[in-house]
Every structure is written in structure tokens, then in C-alpha cells.
Structure 1
Amino acid sequence: MARPNLDLIAALRRTARKIEKGSPYQWGHMGSCNCGNLAQELTRLTKAEIHVHALANGRGDWNEQLNDYCPTSGLPMDLLIGEMMEAGLDPDDLKQLERLSDVRILQRLPAEKRYLRHNFRDDVVLYISEWANMLEEQLLAPIKLPHFEWSEQTVLS
């Protein structure tokens, strides 16, 4: 599961916003699919650069790239995936993002919205947005604020 952190949450929110506002989205393109759009935010590579890295490995889609990921290979796509891992993701997060299949995220959605289609812009935006919300809740959960009772004397002090 993703390691909740501010940079990752912000990247997820930027990704969802960009896709929602019409950023290039094409599920069959390694640089502009679900993972490709998030990779753009985390790595600052363009969709074309991501696509070229993926084709250079010759391994197919994101799922296959992640199955074959080797952090020490030095291959451009493995370096890109490594950068995404450093941001707090793991290979399963990305595989599930590509298929919109993380049960923990889907269970948070209204029942009528749980059957998402991986090649539909609105479904991708919903999934990524809810993922960001979930990670934010996980990040904030351990923070305990002191209980403070307000009184007229407190306000006057």
C-alpha cells in the first residue's frame, strides 16, 4: 500500500484535476494512461518521454513493466518506476491504478459508483481523487489535537 505523504497526495490531486480538465488521456498510451498521467506528475517527464522509455524496454503495458521491474537494471523505465516508488508507491498500487481495482478505494465509493471502467476519464478522476482522500486520512489519523475547552475567560485572556 502507498506510503501516505504530502507530495504523493498532492501529485494524485494534480493528476485527477488535469485529467478532469481535459489533459490528454488515452488508456492504451503508456504516457497518457492512468499510470502515465500520475508518472508525469511524479517524475516531471512528458507523456512522450514516458512512452519512449516504456517502448525502449519492450515489455508491453504498465502491468508487464511492473512485473519485470528491476531497480538495478538502469533501464529508463525501471528508473522511472523507481522514482515513483521513492514517492511512496509500490508496484501493486500502480497495477491497481491501471485497472482501477484497489478494493480499499472502491469500498469508499457509493455502491452505484464501485464498478469503474479503466478507460473512462470520469471514472479515473473519481478513483484517483478518492485515493488521495484515503491517503490524506491515513496521514492525519495519528495526529491528535489536544482537547481544549472554550470559556468566556479563555476568550478574554
Structure 2
Amino acid sequence: AFFLGMLILMRFLINGNYGRAFKACRDDFVAASLLGFKTAHYRVLSLAISGFYCGIAGGLMAGFLTYLQPIMFDMQKSTELTAVVVFGGLGSLSGSIIGTAVLGIVTEVFRPISQYRMLIYGAIMVIIMVARPEGIMGQHEIGPKLLRSLFSRKTVNEVDGTHG
């Protein structure tokens, strides 16, 4: 329930005025500045929001594990967390969730063969990055439009063979 609330909050932020300003600053910093966006303000705000979400995630992790120490967050863990976001697609909230799920499942499925687990993990990362450099979702989101298009029936006109 908490995760869903945070997800909805982020969805509203992304689809609102601030989200459009963040995307403008991300896509072209100079053009956003020329259009009148206070780019420094939006960059600091985006850093604060990401820090808020990271703090919440750290608090939840501390509550789950009941014990934390700095050695738990070594270079391998930092690389893994960055890989999840890149794997799912930069700029895609649903892509990050899908990337987390897929790479988490891969990690757990190959845990019994621990000596090859990171090799398989790396191979999957390389395959996805070669096949889809923008990540699984790219900058697309899973929403009502996408779900409707996936599950709608497409009919073929019998006269001319076109879809209608």
C-alpha cells in the first residue's frame, strides 16, 4: 500500500506542470532556460525529490533488515541499482519497476549456481542493451492507453484487407 501511494505520488508529479518542466530541463537545458524555466531551481528540486525517495527506500530497507552497515552498499550494489534503472529505461517509471522485477527474478533464479550468477546477469544486461539501447520501456509508460491497445481486438475488413 505504501509503495502504491509513492508510485501514485510520483505519477502525479511526472504528469503535472513540474514533470513537464523536469522533462524540458532534461531534454534540452539551454532551450528550457530560454523558454523561461528556472532550470537551476528545477535541478535542485529534482535532486531533493530523488533524495526523498532514496531516504524512504533506505528507511524501509532498514526496517526490513533491522540492521544496516556501510559495507552493505559497496560498488557492486551501487552498480546493480544503476543497472536496474538503465535496464528498465531512463525516464520511465514503469520501466524501472519492470527492470527491478526482471533482474530480481534473474538474481534469485540463478542463486543456486552462484559462481555463474553474475555472468548470466551481465549477459542479460548486454543482450538487452544491444537489442534495446533505450532500455526495456525506453521513455514509454504503461498506462490505460497502452493496455487498451494491447488487449483490443483488431478487425480486418474483408473487402480491402485493411485493419479497421
* TM-score with structure 1 setting the length: 0.33
Q: Which has the larger radius of gyration?
A: 2
Larger RCO (CA under 8 A, 6+ residues apart) = 1
